[in-house]
Amino acid sequence: MMWDKKILKMLGLSDVSIELLRSMSTAKSLSHVAKETGIPRTSVAFTLKELLERKLVNQVKFGKRYRYIALTQQQFVLELQNIIDEVTIATETKKGARIKTAKENEFIIHVGPKEIIPTFARIASLNKNERIKAIQHHRSYLDQIHKLTPEQFRSFNKSIIDNHLVVDGILNEGAYDSYEKEITSDPQRYKESTKTLEGRMADYTVFPNDRFNYDSEIWIFKDTTLIINWHEDVAIEIINKNMTGFMREMFEYVKAGGKKVDHNKMIREVLKGINA
């Protein structure tokens, strides 16, 4: 266990606790930990109970027996972020409902760009270097570019680029024409924002304009789905493997009937047309 000394100091852990965490970088029985560290078994049991209560160690069942494994520093930081999010949701105004149906299942409603954009950034940071899926009709894009300030729009797309996400995206056939038309209507306002759509690691497919003809868009991550409706300024965060798996299969079904396009090339063509 290679934890930063500042975090260990903040947690106020004893030398025995730190020694046990280091020993449990892999799953081990209580007896194994006692033998490896040379700490008496009773002391190990007492300290281990405290570490379990503080959720710094997980208990894993192997057959009829239990083994114990310490959280990595990254896991601890993520758990801490979840707690911060819960406190923020409980104390801030304009927060929507947070429904937890099980330990691993949660549904959260976010209201307004000031909630939606940080939520997207948080989820993106938890899925660094992953391939994510997105379904978006140009109607959603138009709502997004109208509702958000240029800084907010850039911030949203920056989360994708900064976290090295590969966007497996589906757009409607008329999306790029719509982008160009919108930029032409007010180049000073929209051109710089649209530039941020270029530079994504992207694999895009287009579908007929009459399909998914809604104001909402869907972003599918590893275990989380985020449905955003910019027109209503609301998003639903779904933390549920079963429902996210269903969304992923639905995505693949739609993609199979689409046509591949080079997204970055298409955006460059849109911007080139404006410059001409």
| pLDDT beyond 60 at 89 | no
Q: Give the residue among 73, 267, 70 at the shortest CA–CA distance from 175.
A: 267
Measured N-to-C along each axis, helices 30-37 and 15-23 cross at an angle, to the nearest 10 degrees, of 110
- 151 Cα distance to chain centroid: 20
**Contact (Cβ atoms closer than 8 angstroms) between residue 257 and residue 250:** no
pTM over 0.75: no
Within 10 Å of residue 124's Cβ, how many Cβ atoms?
A: 23
Residues 57-80: what's their mean pLDDT? 85
Within 10 Å of residue 93's Cβ, how many Cβ atoms?
A: 5
Q: What is residue 185's DSSP assignment?
A: H
pLDDT in tens, 93-120: 445 567 777 767 889 999 999 899 999 9
At 181, is the pLDDT very low, low, confident or very high (cuts 50, 70, 90)? confident
| pLDDT beyond 60 at 21 | yes
What SS3 class is residue 276? Answer: coil
136 burial class (0-12, 13-18, 19+ CB within 10 angstroms)?
A: buried
**Contact (Cβ atoms closer than 8 angstroms) between residue 112 and residue 94:** yes
What SS3 class is residue 72? Answer: coil
Q: What's the whole-number average pLDDT of the chain?
A: 83
